[in-house]
């Protein structure tokens, strides 16, 4: 909570610079509570949206009119509301809640549209997620009196706000408010030169909008950082199309590349005027004549054609799969894409992630987010063994989770793994999918409000990976991890509060709390409130004698990858004809040591000779021996201790990074 400041001779003032604990609040000093909370990997999200109607902005009559209008809009959008009289001046606070969390962008849209319709509304707390506060019901007013519930008793108000509404309901509310404000001429139209109805099916078929569209002084553009066109785009602009080619399709592709680079309509107009630099844009300058040649367009038709091309290019670029402009994209854009992925995962709600496969699916999403942030691109190789280690689960579980989230529309598989080519599964963020309607299918949240990436998203995702790699979850179950996160998010909470917030049944949530307390990860104070202890997951796992499972997975991943590459090389060698094998010469034995820098797959793969009843001898691959040879070559024991060392230090165990760990550090 934040407490009001006191100035000598003036009493309490409208400044809340002092932070105090909830139990230190008294009945005299005014206090305000934060509307937004910080969530791991997502940054600030609004769990409460309080509409503050101030009587100083038009008087009580205006407050009454605005309250009636907002109540009707809230209820029609499916957002339950709790109303409180803020103090002696006659102001009102309309309290709503979204347990899943709302991004600052959506809340700001809602606030700015509502401000145009309701003059008494003070939107300042809704525009600053870091410090935005409103006095809660029961808090003192600096001019005397208290904020009092208008219609509900305390228990009813608490239940209404604990239940809250979904992000989709708040999105409906923002859409309704913006529609009313635009109809009244109080907000500008969001799109110039057309609307969604003007977008052809060939573009809408790409799926939902993946990048925000904003308006500048002339027309639309993508809300992406400005960058220079890459060599491929410049080469495409310099291409001179033939007469029989589809000029409009060529122009569309070039304009779309410009839109993805953060360009504007003015940039396209400049390129159209520069015939030497952009001959591929001839369709925007000329039209085919009856003689078969091209004749200049009149100025009015050329302007109309350029604006229409630009509008469609922006709409198409906004729906392009994430990563389509890869190669020239900055790391900030990758951060924004990963933050959007995590925001959509949060918006999917607890029901999606608390079903039996939910923890594994969510862990897979966080593992992919980690890979994207490490690689600096949203198109990554998702080897199921490495992903499994980052999830804290087996590679079979990881493989099933990746296929589920791909089917649900979170990711798109660009290329399946190829054992003999030595390539892993390539994935990127999905632009859309076809709903299967099958049992267990849950569509991904395609769009959500825009939110700025967390200050250090890599660290936040890393913390989540460390948490899901905790060996202790293999003892008490991965669902208990959500209960531990709930305790951490609440900092201090009673059993009743945690049970009411938990997506699990009270019996299950209480069982989680008891098991976590037995392991020393949470504790209760004398007042019965739960809090997180200083004990790490590694310490709890060591005490429970389960430390080392993630280390086992990491070491097995490295050895499995080495054996797989060795076997693929052996299969390739076996396919050679006799003459080719003679040219290569005899291969070193399987047990022969490998010099630094030499190819370990050049050795003969270990085999077992088996004699049949007729005396014929056949050779069978000895995979078990191959595994033992590679484990010894890689130093599996040392790698295992390195992985445990990382867990002791609360760091991510990534198989590809184990060789970089310094055990002396």
Condensed to tens digits (0 to 9), the pLDDT of residues 408-417 reads: 888 888 778 7
Long-range residue pairs from 23-26, CB within 8 A, at least 24 positions apart, any chain: 25/1, 25/139
DSSP states of 281-329: GGGGTEEE-TTSSEEEPPHHHHHHHHHHHHHHHHHHHHHSPTTTTTTS-
415 vs 69 pLDDT, higher one: 69
What is the chain's mean pLDDT, rounded? Answer: 82
- Residue 287 phi/psi, 5° resolution? -130, 155
All residues at 6 or more sequence positions from 341 whose CB lies less than 8 Å from its CB, including other chains: 365, 368, 369, 410, 429
Q: Are 74 and 87 in contact (CB under 8 A)?
A: no
Q: Compute the distance between CA of residue 214 and CA of residue 148 in angstroms, rounded to an integer.
A: 41
Count Cβ atoms below 10 Å from residue 642 Cβ, excluding itself.
Answer: 21
Residue with tokens 């709409």: 315
Residue with tokens 């809230």: 74
Tell me the mean pLDDT in the region 447-470: 75
Q: Which of 56-60, 227-231, 453-457, 529-533 has the lowest average pLDDT?
A: 453-457
Q: Strand, helix or coil at 202? A: helix
User: Which residues are registered as beta bridge partners of 121?
Assistant: 53
Q: Are 449 and 346 in contact (CB under 8 A)?
A: no
Residue with tokens 């991890």: 481
Whole-number pLDDT of residue 106:
81
Structural element, H or E, at residue 63? helix 59-77
Q: Are 550 and 469 in contact (CB under 8 A)?
A: yes
For residue 37 the two structure tokens come to 């909370």
Q: Compute the distance between CA of residue 664 and CA of residue 142 in angstroms, rounded to an integer.
A: 59
Whole-number pLDDT of residue 363:
93
End-to-end distance of the chain based on CA atoms, in angstroms?
41
For residue 349 the two structure tokens come to 């709600």
Q: Between β-strands 220-222 and 529-532, what pairing exists: parallel, antiparallel or unpaired?
A: unpaired
Q: Compute the distance between CA of residue 92 and CA of residue 87 in angstroms, rounded to an integer.
A: 8
Separation in Å, CA 11 to CA 1, 4, 19, 524: 19, 10, 18, 39
Q: Compute the distance between CA of residue 44 and CA of residue 346 in angstroms, rounded to an integer.
A: 12
Q: Are 250 and 240 in contact (CB under 8 A)?
A: no
Domain boundaries, the chain: 2-183, 196-319, 331-543, 549-660
Q: At what angle do helices 358-375 and 384-391 cross, to 10 degrees?
A: 110
Structural element, H or E, at residue 99? strand 92-102
Count Cβ atoms below 10 Å from residue 411 Cβ, excluding itself.
Answer: 26
Q: At what angle do helices 167-183 and 59-77 cross, to 10 degrees?
A: 130
pTM of the model: 0.51
pLDDT in tens, 9-53: 556 666 676 788 877 777 778 888 888 887 765 568 899 999 999
For residue 648 the two structure tokens come to 């002791």
Whole-number pLDDT of residue 14:
66
For residue 352 the two structure tokens come to 């999606």
pLDDT in tens, 137-177: 888 877 777 788 888 889 889 988 988 888 878 888 888 88
Residue 665 has pLDDT above 60, yes or no: no
Burial of 6 (0-12, 13-18, 19+ CB in 10 A): middle
Whole-number pLDDT of residue 63:
92
Whole-number pLDDT of residue 196:
41
């Amino acid at each position: 909570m934040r407490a009001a400041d006191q100035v000598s001779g003036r009493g309490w003032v409208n400044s809340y610079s002092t932070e105090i604990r909830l139990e230190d609040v008294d009945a005299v000093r005014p206090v305000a509570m934060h509307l937004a909370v910080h969530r791991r990997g997502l940054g600030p999200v609004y769990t409460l949206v309080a509409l503050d109607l101030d009587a100083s902005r038009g008087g009580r009559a205006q407050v009454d009119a605005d309250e009636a209008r907002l109540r009707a809009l809230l209820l029609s959008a499916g957002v339950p509301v709790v109303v409180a009289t803020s103090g002696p001046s006659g102001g009102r606070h309309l309290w709503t809640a979204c347990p899943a969390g709302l991004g600052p962008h959506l809340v700001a849209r809602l606030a700015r549209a509502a401000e145009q319709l309701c003059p008494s509304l003070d939107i300042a707390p809704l525009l600053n997620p870091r410090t935005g506060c409103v006095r809660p019901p029961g808090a003192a007013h600096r001019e005397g009196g208290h904020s009092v519930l208008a219609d509900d008793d305390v228990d009813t108000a608490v239940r209404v706000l604990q239940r809250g509404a979904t992000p989709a309901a708040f999105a409906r509310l923002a859409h309704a408010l913006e529609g009313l404000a635009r109809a009244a001429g109080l907000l500008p139209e969001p799109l110039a030169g057309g609307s969604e109805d003007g977008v052809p099916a060939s573009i809408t078929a790409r799926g939902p909008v993946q990048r925000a569209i904003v308006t500048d002084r002339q027309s639309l553009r993508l809300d992406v950082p400005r960058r220079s066109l890459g060599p491929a785009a410049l080469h495409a602009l310099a291409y001179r199309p033939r007469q029989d080619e589809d000029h409009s399709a060529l122009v569309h592709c070039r304009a779309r590349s410009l839109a993805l680079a953060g360009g504007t309509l003015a940039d396209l107009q400049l390129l159209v005027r520069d015939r030497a630099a952009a001959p591929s844009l001839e369709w925007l300058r000329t039209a085919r004549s009856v003689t078969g040649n091209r004749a200049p367009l009149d100025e009015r038709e050329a302007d109309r054609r350029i604006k229409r091309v630009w509008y469609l290019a922006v709409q198409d670029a906004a729906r392009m799969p994430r990563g389509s402009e890869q190669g020239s994209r900055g790391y900030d854009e990758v951060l924004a894409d990963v933050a959007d992925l995590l925001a959509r995962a949060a918006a999917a709600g607890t029901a999606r992630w608390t079903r039996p496969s939910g923890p594994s699916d969510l862990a897979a999403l966080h593992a992919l987010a980690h890979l994207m942030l490490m690689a600096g691109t949203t198109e990554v190789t998702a080897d199921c063994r490495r992903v499994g280690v980052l999830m804290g689960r087996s590679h079979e579980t990881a493989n099933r989770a990746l296929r589920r989230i791909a089917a649900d529309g979170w990711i798109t598989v660009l290329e399946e793994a190829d054992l003999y080519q030595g390539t892993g599964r390539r994935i990127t963020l999905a632009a859309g999918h076809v709903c299967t309607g099958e049992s267990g299918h849950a569509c991904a949240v395609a769009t959500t409000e825009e939110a700025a990436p967390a200050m250090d998203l890599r660290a936040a995702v890393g913390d989540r990976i460390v948490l899901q790699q905790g060996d202790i979850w293999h003892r008490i179950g991965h669902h208990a991890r959500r209960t531990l996160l709930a305790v951490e998010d609440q900092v201090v909470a009673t059993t009743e509060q945690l049970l009411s917030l938990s997506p699990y049944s009270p019996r299950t949530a209480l069982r989680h709390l008891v098991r976590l307390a037995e392991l020393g990860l949470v504790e209760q104070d004398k007042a019965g409130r739960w809090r997180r202890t200083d004990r790490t997951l590694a310490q709890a796992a060591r005490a429970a004698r389960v430390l080392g499972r993630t280390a086992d997975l990491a070491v097995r991943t490295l050895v499995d990858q080495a054996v797989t590459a060795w076997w693929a090389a052996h299969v390739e060698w076996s396919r050679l004809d006799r003459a080719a094998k003679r040219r290569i010469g005899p291969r070193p034995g399987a047990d022969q040591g490998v010099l630094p820098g030499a190819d370990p797959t050049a050795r003969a793969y270990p085999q077992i000779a088996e004699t049949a009843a007729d005396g014929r001898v056949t050779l069978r691959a000895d995979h078990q021996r191959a595994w033992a040879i590679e484990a010894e070559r890689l130093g599996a024991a040392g790698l295992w201790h390195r992985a445990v060392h990382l867990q002791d230090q609360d760091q991510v165990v990534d198989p590809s990074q184990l060789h970089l760990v310094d055990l002396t550090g």
